[in-house]
Structures are given as C-alpha cells and as structure tokens.
Structure 1
Amino acid sequence: MQYQGVVNTQLNVTNFLGVRYAAAPVGNLRWAAPQAPPTVSDVQQATSGPNECYQAGLGSSSTNPLTAAKKRDVSQSEDYLFLNVHIPGPTVNAVLSGGHPVVVWIHGGGYVGGSASGYDGSSLVFQSQNSAIVVVIQYRLGLFGFLPGAAVESGGVLNAGLLDQNFALQWVQAHFGGDPTKVTIWGQSAGAGSVLQHAVANGGNTQPALFTTALTSSTYLPPQYNYNDHIPEMLYSQVVSGASCSSSSDTLSCLRSADAGTLSNVNNQIESNGLYGTFTFVPVVDGTFIIERPTVTLGKGKHNGQALYSATNLNEGNQFVQKSLTMSASQYISQMFLNIKASEADSLAALYADFGTNVDQAIAVMSEATFVCPSTYYLMKAFGNNAWKGEFTISPTTHGSDIGYYFTTSTSQIAVAFSESFLAMVTSGNVVNKYNPADDLPSSWSNWVSGDTEMVFNTMSDGSSDLYTLTTDSGLLNRCAYAPVSSLFLTRALADGDIAVLG
C-alpha cells in the first residue's frame, strides 16, 4: 500500500501518521491473534494521528479486591492497531533505501493506557541527527489486550497486546525500508516491560529475529501469573459478570458480542478497584509466546536481542504508594503479591525496616520489586557483557520524569547527552559510540556486568550537565538477590537464604 505523509519542515522529518498494520480487532477478532489488514489500492492518507485504545487508570483502592489515564484529545475506539512512522528528511525513497537503523517505541501506561499520540517520534529523529527511522506503535490495552483465563486460552489468544506488538515488529521488518538487521525496540514503564517480554518471548529464541537491541526505561514488571492461576480466573469471572455474560454457556462468545462501551466501563471499574498504584490487566504466562515467567528464562541466560541499555529513575515507586497508607510493610507486600507466603512477606519487609516510615518502606518495596530488581538488574545480568545501566537523578526523579529529556528538541547539554545514550545504542549497539562528538558522555562508561558500573545523569545548579559513573549499591543488589524477592517472580519459591539470579 502507498501512504501520503506530511513533512515537518522545522525538524526536516517526514511523518506518516495512523498507518494501519493490522485489521481492527473487533467481533470475532476480539482476543484473537492480530490479522493482516485488507489491501487497499488507493493512496492512504497518513497525515493525522490514529484513534487510541479504550483507556483506563490505575488502581485507587486502599486494599486489593482480588484478595476476596489520562484522557487525551483523541478518539477512543476498538479500531486502533495503527502506528506512526517518522523518517529523516523530505526525500523518503532515498532514506528508505539507505539502510538507516530503526527504533520502535512501545508506549507505557500500565498496559491499560497510553497511545502513539503521546509521543512525537520526529523529536527522536531530530535527536539522532537524522540518522534513524522511528516507529511508534499502538496495541490492545486493558481487558481488550490482556484478558486472562482458561476460556481465553481455549477460544482465543492470551496476551493479545503483546501479540499486536510482535505483529508490528514483523510489519517493520517487511515495510518502510531501513536496515532490518538494525532494529531496536525501546519502551518506558509498561512499554519497557513489553520490551522485556519480547526479550524472553519463545523462550528467548524468536525466529526469525525481530530486533537486535533492547532499550528499557523504568521497566514495569508486576507479578506475572500463569494464565489459569486462581487470580486470573477470578479476574475473568469479574469481566464476565460485569458484561452480564454469567448465564451464557459460552462466556467468551458472549464477551465478543458485548458492546465495546460496556466492556470499556467494566475495564475502568476493575482497574479503579485495584490496589492503589497498581494495574490489573497485565501480561500472563501463556505457555506459548511467554512460555514461563520472564525471570526463569533470564536466569537461564536466554534472551532475544544482542545488546541492552536499561535506565531507571532514582525514585521509581513514589507516586504509586498512597501517602495515607496505614498498613505495615509486610501487610503491603501481601497486598501487592497475592501468592506470597506470610513468612516470606515478613522476611522481605525486614529488609526495609530501616527505610523510615511505613510509607517510605512501601515506596522502596514498590520501586525495587516492580521497577528495579527483576525488571532491570536480572535483565542486565542475562545480557552479560552487552548491557549498560543508566540512572536518572534530575528532580523530581520520579517514574516518567525522564521522558521529556529524550522526546524533546532541546539542545541543552543534558538533553543531548541523555538522548544520545539511547540513540547511540540504536545506531551502533554501544552507548559510548558517539555519533555526536560534541556531547559530553564520559568514555569511562563500561558495561554493567564487569563492575556494576552505572552512568548518572544529573545537572548542576546552573543547568549544565553533571555526568559521572558510580558502582551499583551493594545493599540494593543484596535485596534484589534475597530469596523472598526472587520467589515473587520465579515459578518455585526458594528456601530462605537462597541467592537467585544476582550474585
């Protein structure tokens, strides 16, 4: 198919917006594998952003009910399997035949929110000095993309949102030129969590390979249950009940016939009722695409991709914990991780006893158990000599505060240095292979596994960049390696005192 894009003359980037990569997942295609869209002979207009998936927010309940988003000026619809393509310069054919590297951005939003419209890929092209093609994808969200349960496995597909992303990566390999051997996948929060899922997909042996480099910003990895665990089954039952399908002999068919607005309301209600700061509809272990929990695959040293760069913010968990929290750290851990034993919750809480108030302890638990330990350090350990670590410490240092420093057209020292640390990976697979000799990224930045080295991105009082390396805190690594932490993400619980992946 042919597309008519629009040129951003200010940035010298050609944008193709709202390019359909899969058929609308409606009717019988709800909870089905993504399908190729129908062929259209006419030139398709790709000059405005696409619809976004139905959105939901994060949990707001003080306790987790399973123990018994921000709205943009974009239309919400079930027809949202689109992507945006941003190409350097106005002469598209010359760029597409020139073997440019490609970076595919996967948006975050807890697997229940977000869209391509929130991320202007042309700014990444600008920061790459017009050396990369950028693709920003959308995928099914919430119950539309991550409905679990045995009925879904039997009559449809699990992790439909991840399969959408995989389908989009296949589309990138087949369309819009660029170098298919230099594809990077990059995401933030749940988008970074998606990158992790693709790193372990098919047991870490996806064939043919869909990417060579993985970039993760604040990777979100909540507990990942087996699709037919009692908690996912309870969640499926809640959806069936909310859609008035409980009396149906074929509940999945009933859900496929349900009005999209009804399902959206159910989606919002279940997410809102979740534990404060958490998300309910998330990836599961499906036994086919995600064959086991990600940390199990990583623990075997198996992964897709050849190189990795992971960055975190200093205070990832702060905004996900209720400041009026009254429960103890152990009680909070039991609410977060519903399959954890009471003794394990107590042992894990003891590691955070010196972190201040119960709220401070809960913030540290949320940060390390969800965004830092398994999702970042376990991942880097698996990639070995080809993994680098960055730490973003510019105020407010909270989850998501780094996004504005790479989706920007700023030419400030820190914006250039921070964005280049990612885009150097896109263009060369190594953070220190500068494509802009004028930047001030220190050459002393070594891979993480050889010395636990991290690059800190900060600013001085005058706004100039303050970049330096440090060694990962040994106390953090000890907490990450402690068995009760590991057992939250492994298929089997380890005995107290065991050391899991890190060491």
Structure 2
Amino acid sequence: MDFSRVLLALCFLLTISASTAYDNPLVTLDYGSFQGAYDATYNLSYFRKIPFAAPAAGENRFRAPQPPLNITNGTYDTDQSFDMCPQRTVNGSEDCLYLGLYSRPWDTTSTTTNRPVLVVFYGGGFIEGSALFGMPPNSYPVLNVSTLNDYVVVYSNYRVNAFGFLPGQAIKDSATSDLNPGLLDQQYALKWVQSHIHKFGGNPNNVTIWGQSAGGGSVVAQVLANGRGSNPKLFSKALASSPFWPKTYAYNAPQAEAIYTQLVNLTGCANSSDTLACLKTVDVQSIRDASLIIDDSHTYTTSSYTWAPVIDDVFLIEPLTTAIDSDALDTDLIWGMYNAHEGQNFIPSGL
C-alpha cells in the first residue's frame, strides 16, 4: 500500500472533520440542539440567537423569566436576527429573551476548551437597547489586541421600560408577577451561562460581566443582587463603564405607586377590578406608548429616565450608597469608571 496516499487521505478526512466542527458548530443542550455559524472574514464562530427563557408575553408579562421552551422541530438555526424587547419607537416583541455569543473557532467535540467568558449588558437608560450583533461585533477589535484575548463573548437581551421595571404594590402582591424583571432577565442569562457555557468552550468559573451606562448600572445591580452575592456565584469579576444609576426608591414608595397608576390610566385599565390582570392583556403597543408618555411627563421634574430598578426586598434590598458603605461585596474584582461632565445629561431640564 502506498503510505503517502494513505497519509494524504487521512489528512483529507481530518481536514473535513475539523472544518465541520469549526465551520458549523453544533451544540446540544438539555432543551434542544443549536446550530452555529462561522465567519471566515473575521475568523469567528458565533451563535447569534439562542432562547434562554420563554417568551415574556401573556401571563409572563411583568414576571421573572421562565425556563425556555423545548426545541421540538429539529435543530435550531441560530444564525438569524431577533426582535428587541418593546421600546421607544420600536414595537419590538415580548418574545425577546434571546442571547448571542461568539468567539474564536473551537472544536465543539472537545471537552478541554476552557476559556474566560465576558457577559455584556447593553445601555440605554433602562428604556431601550438590544443584544443583537452583526459582523463584526462591536467588541470584535478587542480580540485582536493580543493573542491572549481568547474568550467567549455573550450578549443578552433584557426587558426595559414598563415591561422590565414596572413598580407598585400590585406587582409585589401578585403570585405571577415580579418586580425588576429586567434585572431578573440578566440574572437568568448568567444562570444560563453557568449551566451551558462549557458546551461553547467557556469556563463557568471565570465569568466577567461588563456594561456601559444602564449596562454599567446593571452590573452594579448584579453585584448587589440578593444581599450582595448570589449563591452559587454567577460571576467573579465586574466592570462598569459610566454606570447609570438613578435615584432608587422602594417598590411601593409614592413615586412608584404614581407611575403604576399613570400606566393603568393610560392603558384604559383604571376601571378594572384587577388592574394588573388588565395590564397583562393590553396589547404591546399600548404599553409601549404609555411608557413613552410617562417618560415625557417626567422630563421637567425627575428627568426622562423614569423606568429604573426599585428596592424590592428580594433582588435589591438596600440603596446603592448603603451597600457600598458596607464594603462587603462578594466579587473578586470590581472596576468602574466615568467620563468627565457626564452627569449633566441626566439632570431634569426644568432645573
């Protein structure tokens, strides 16, 4: 037998095998199989759209994220776009709890790939934003700074404005509703990372969270979550760029109840015997439009950034200043920064 021909054939088969593993990454999770893609121009393997929770519609509106639905119709193609969560002038969709991730190519059949993970939360004043990325992704240049920058980047959607931050006693009293669901979306994505990122070549014990503006504020919130530390820990390092953190009051404070009442009135639910049940049946656009009106109505008093986290006694149990003064944050590394003169953009224009 011609040894050179055998060697050539073996190399050919190995090339096909490697190409398949790298160019068409396929990952199977406990709720479905997900087909990724490869971009040769930027040398990136990516999964653009992975559902990490069930659609937040109907009874799931204003509710903590629920487990993702099982994929029952074959392999899920992740190389597709997805809707923003409803916001501002974009109708969006309540079927928006998706995340995407990318990294340098890796062999999905290998169990030894163990790279650092960076989870990114977008900014937008808690009223807008999207985790959908194109090619190249925004943070792609960071991968090119050094050959040591070999990590998995995860972008996660989370609910904003009234859909993500509706306060009020009615929310607290409801068995099927939760305060701060936007922050709970982020935490749920971090739990997804802990459960599944090893299938994508990531190390669940080396997770960093990062965000800018409201994304930075989200990082602060996750650091403070559940009494300053989830158990088990969901991340080890936190980076906050220009974190946006408006005045935080209790879920049932007068300001909070006023916002709830205003939303109820604007959506035609004021005469309902169960205003929250009514809000869960109102069409998406009505909630979105009412959110915008509420934003605008506060422009000259408390700023246009009305929708924001509240102290709910579960996820957030104390004001930011109290938590920081305690000097008891359960995170290996915390880093934050601001640019000069950023605060003036958030001062009510009526002052």
Task: Establish whether TM, by shorter chain, passes 0.5.
Answer: yes
Aligned residues of 1:285 and 1:293 also touching (Cα < 8 A): yes
**Aligned partners of 1:207, 1:81: CA distance in 2, in Å?**
23
**Distance in structure 2 (CA, Å) of the matches to 1:274 and 1:123:** 39
> Against the structure 1 CA distance between its residues 101 and 264, is the aligned structure 2 distance closer, same or farther, given a 3 Å change threshold?
same
Deviation at 1:176, TM superposition (A): 2.8
Q: Which residue does 1:274 correspond to in 2? A: 298
Picking from 307, 317, 328, the partner of 1:291 is: 317
Residue pair 1:110, 1:189 contacting (<8 A) in 2 also:
yes
For residues 4 and 267 of structure 1, the distance between their equivalents in structure 2, rounded to whole angstroms, comes to 37
2:62 to 21, 31, 34: 31
Task: Measure the CA separation in 1 of the matches of 2:197 and 2:229.
Answer: 25
Q: Which residue matches 1:139?
A: 158
SS at match of 1:201: helix
Letter in 2 for 1:49: S
Report SS of the residue matched to 1:292.
coil
**Which of 71, 79, 90 lines up with 1:47 in the alignment?**
79
Q: 1:224 offset after TM fit, Å?
A: 0.3
Partner of 1:466: none
After superposition, where does 1:234-253 map in structure 2 within 5 Å?
234-253=258-277
2:94: which partner in 1? 78
Structure 1 stretch 134-143 or stretch 113-122: which is displaced more?
113-122
CA distance in 2: counterparts of 1:98 and 1:216, whole angstroms:
28
Equivalent position of 2:178 in the other structure: 157
Cα distance in 1 between the residues matched to 2:155 and 2:57: 22
CA RMSD of aligned residues (A): 1.9
Q: Which residue number corresponds to residue 17 of structure 2?
A: none
- Cα 1:275/1:128, change in 2 over 3 Å: farther
Could you tell me the TM-score, scaled by structure 2's length?
A: 0.83
Are positions 1:88 and 2:112 aligned together?
A: no
Runs of 4+ residues over 6 Å off in structure 1: none
On the 8 A contact 1:20/1:37 being kept in 2, the answer is yes
Q: CA deviation at 1:35?
A: 0.7
- Residue 194 of structure 2 corresponds to which residue in structure 1? 173
Please, what TM-score do these two structures have when normalized by structure 1? 0.59
Corresponding residue of 1:215 = 239
Q: 1:15 to 1:125 in 2, by over 3 A?
A: farther
What is the identity percentage for the equivalent residue pairs of Structure 1 and Structure 2?
35
Counterpart residue number, 1:478: none
Specify every segment of 5 or more residues in structure 1 that has no aligned partner in the other structure, as ranges.
57-68, 333-503
Q: Does 1:317 align with 2:343?
A: yes
Query: 1:459 aligns to what?
Result: none
Higher relative contact order, chain-length normalized (CA < 8 Å, sep 6+): 2
Q: Deviations over 1:226-259 (max 9, x none)?
A: 0000000000000000111111111110100111
When the two structures are aligned, how many residues end up with a matched partner? 308
Q: Structure 2 counterpart of 1:46, which letter?
A: T
- Among 321, 324, 332, the residue aligned to 1:306: 332
Give SS of 2:205's match. Answer: coil
The answer to whether the 8 Å contact 1:22/1:34 transfers is yes
Distance in 2 separating the partners of 1:158 and 1:173:
23
- Residue by residue over 1:434-473, the C-alpha shift from the partner in whole angstroms, topping out at 9 and shown as x without a partner, is xxxxxxxxxxxxxxxxxxxxxxxxxxxxxxxxxxxxxxxx
Instruction: Answer yes or no: is the 8 Å Cα contact 1:34–1:164 preserved in 2.
Output: yes
User: Residue 197 of structure 2 contacts residue 204 of structure 2 at CA under 8 Å; is this kept in 1?
Assistant: no
